[in-house]
Amino acid sequence: MTHRGELYLALIHHPIRSPKGGVIATAITNVDLHDFARLGRTYDCRRVFIVTPVTRQQELVQSICDHWTTGSGARKNPDRMEAMRLLEVQPSIEHAIVAIESARGARPSIAVTGAALAEATDDPRALAGDLASGRDVLLLFGTGWGLTEETLGMADRRLQPIKGRLDGYNHLSVRSAAAIILDRLFRND
């Protein structure tokens, strides 16, 4: 009997494409942490990685997590505590991959998404097949101006961008995009 694979999310703050052509790190936002944690809990993700090499940003994430998992926030809102326990800061995508390999014994399939992906070929439901076959999946979400070409190049799957109903406008928050993709992934589960 094949065991179902585990889904991991990663909110990438570095490396991010600069609008001027280079690589930047974007800032952590409190609302992203809470919403990604709740999204991960709602869809039974094994872990939600927050990826940034910036030490002060890592400390900020840890401080927010501590408040909600062991501090007064945990006592006031046990549901939030449960979700926030899923968050884990990693300094790089590679570190997140190694954490999964250490926990699960194999490298996960890497999936990427982004508003501007022109060569995306996979429907989010394709990831459901990977999970059903027992393969773990790390789904990367970029912030700012999106994932770098190098990051996109690591992907085993490139998911189709979300398309609106009108004129091609596609500038959703990363939280909204992640929720839509996970809903599509698990819609018929």
Considering the segment(s) 7-186 as one domain, its CATH architecture is: 3-Layer(aba) Sandwich (3.40)
Model confidence pLDDT, tens digit, residues 138-180: 999 999 999 999 999 999 999 988 888 777 777 899 999 999 9
pTM, entire model: 0.95
Range of weakest confidence among 20-24, 69-73, 112-116: 112-116
Average pLDDT for the chain: 93
Residue 119: is its pLDDT beyond 80?
Answer: no
C-alpha to C-alpha distance for 129 and 36, rounded to whole angstroms? 23
Confidence bin at 12 (pLDDT 50/70/90): very high
Q: Please enumerate in sequence order all residues whose Cβ is within 8 A of that of 54, keeping only pairs 6 or more positions apart, or say none.
A: 13, 14, 25
Model confidence pLDDT, tens digit, residues 86-111: 999 999 999 999 999 999 999 999 99
Domain boundaries, the chain: 7-186
